């Protein structure tokens, strides 16, 4: 299933659920956010936008990775000398 189709399907399901609860009729802001769409047809509500991703550097992982790569080089060198 394409992302666009998935988003549309989830949006429609949520709208049906909220209508059953009669929430949309009482909240114009919620109704506007559920029915607003962008140029590509995907809802433009802040509620469906993912939060900005902050890049995190895992220094322990990088140090461990460097040690493993160094060990691998030593093992390759040692195995070539034995052959």
CA count, 13 A, side-chain hemisphere, 11:
22
Any idea where the domains of the chain sit in the sequence? 3-49+57-82
Q: Please tell me the predicted confidence (pLDDT) of residue 70.
A: 94
Structure tokens at 65: 């990775």
Distance separating alpha carbons of residues 5 and 8, to the nearest angstrom: 5
Would you tell me the crossing angle of helices 3-20 and 28-35 to the nearest 10 degrees? 160
pLDDT in tens, the chain (83 residues): 688 888 888 888 887 777 776 655 566 776 676 676 666 666 655 555 555 666 677 888 888 999 999 999 999 999 888 87
pTM of the model: 0.34
Q: Please tell me the predicted confidence (pLDDT) of residue 66.
A: 93
Dihedral through CA 62, CA 64, CA 66, CA 72, nearest 10? -150
The neighbour count for residue 48, using CB atoms within 10 Å, is: 15
């Amino acid at each position: 299933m394409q992302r666009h189709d998935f988003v549309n399907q989830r949006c429609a399901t949520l709208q049906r659920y909220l209508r059953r609860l009669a929430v949309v009729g009482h909240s114009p802001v919620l109704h506007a956010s559920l029915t607003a769409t962008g140029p590509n047809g995907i809802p433009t509500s802040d509620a469906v936008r993912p939060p900005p991703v902050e890049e995190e550097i895992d220094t322990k992982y990088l140090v461990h990775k460097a040690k493993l790569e160094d060990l691998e080089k030593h093992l390759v060198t040692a195995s070539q000398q034995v052959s």
